[in-house]
Structure 1
């Protein structure tokens, strides 16, 4: 019994252009307005393993109180059910941090839990930090792996339970978790390319549409640039561009191994809502003049892959 969600970055509304010598003619930065997904969880089936402790979910049925185990760090979840499953089996989320709502937020005893936006502002920056540590890279916004958040639903809340779990999930092109097997602990430190975002769309024009880099694509994510802290004011469009222009250009050059006129840096930044919940990175892309199959990493001055 839980609620889950992830902030999925949506399409862009603004753009700016400039010229970089030695690269393609334009580089473009785009802001991304908020789109929050939150999913109601079906109730767990009868027969869940009884458990005790501060961070377990609770419910009642047939006049008999039951409690469900909530997964711990390193354990996995399937869908939105908080009960653990073996990570070697199919699952959607791997837990990176355990927590309990406290203070004014946790003392809300009547009715449903706080609204989604309040929960995300309070907890999600911690989930993003936990994801970076767990995955082994602060640049995971350039990968298909993303932070996730699950917390007690209204019935649990009325029963006095205040648990939440941060996790990581492998995301499809719409920002939804996909079924996978095996752990991703340290995965990006070991093999970032395996999870790198490649896009069939140009990030300078619209939201990246993720595909495996072995399929035809027009852009590859090459890294991120941190633009500040969530508890500080969000930078202006000009400040985002000033910060990203040189940094993303450098990252693309290092990724390619040369300056090419058929590859240009582009970048995307968070809007105000996403900024407040911890999305403080600008994501940099190598944007291609033509669709390519296979990564352009370290291609240098060689011909583009077909």
Structure 2
């Protein structure tokens, strides 16, 4: 039984006339009659009583038509679902991000823009350290991720780089240099530092160590903080000073002041990555288009 047979039968049932049904379908009347007869022969029942001026449904026809109509509607829904899935409009996408990336205004803006463009797509968000994000991307448990990788960590991934952020100095409010708008790193040579663990993300850790050494000293690490936001909280508690991406300065924690690094200071790199595959899922392709449209 073919879908066109169902359409032909429904047209005849609706019009109660072969000629009018043929005109509606855009075919000649004799072929329509032949197709209806072929359907009836396949079913082994007559669907229509042929009258002098039109047709009437048989009991079999009355029983058959609602199911035929439902089958056509289901087929149309199936075709529509397939097309929408191919366009990345339905289904789901999992998006990962580092804790510091969530403070970068570009990240929520891109995700919000994508959500507006594809409102029927389920979006699952997950916060992880860069190391864990890389593992999840490679394992296929995440579709895309905002992360801060070092050179070589994104091998096997497709990445798009977002604008770099300057690293700023976060100081306890009672620090001797609190209130300064710009400081040379060497002025912190004697201070204890709070760092994001290297095991969670090598880029920020290595960038901070390298910047301090370029300034002529090795930082004394007093504490490691598993989340960037907790780094700021530890600064507020007076545990030490920290270098944080500029976007974290939006976190107006009580007891913390921020200062620029004088001169050519270190940067915090942020990229959006997904697995390199022969066929990129439509939702991922659409998401990366939103990243590109945002200037990333």
Normalised-by-shorter TM-score class: under 0.3
Report the TM-score, using the length of structure 2 for normalisation: 0.21
Report the TM-score, using the length of structure 1 for normalisation: 0.21
Larger strand percent: 1
Please say which structure displays the higher CA radius of gyration.
2
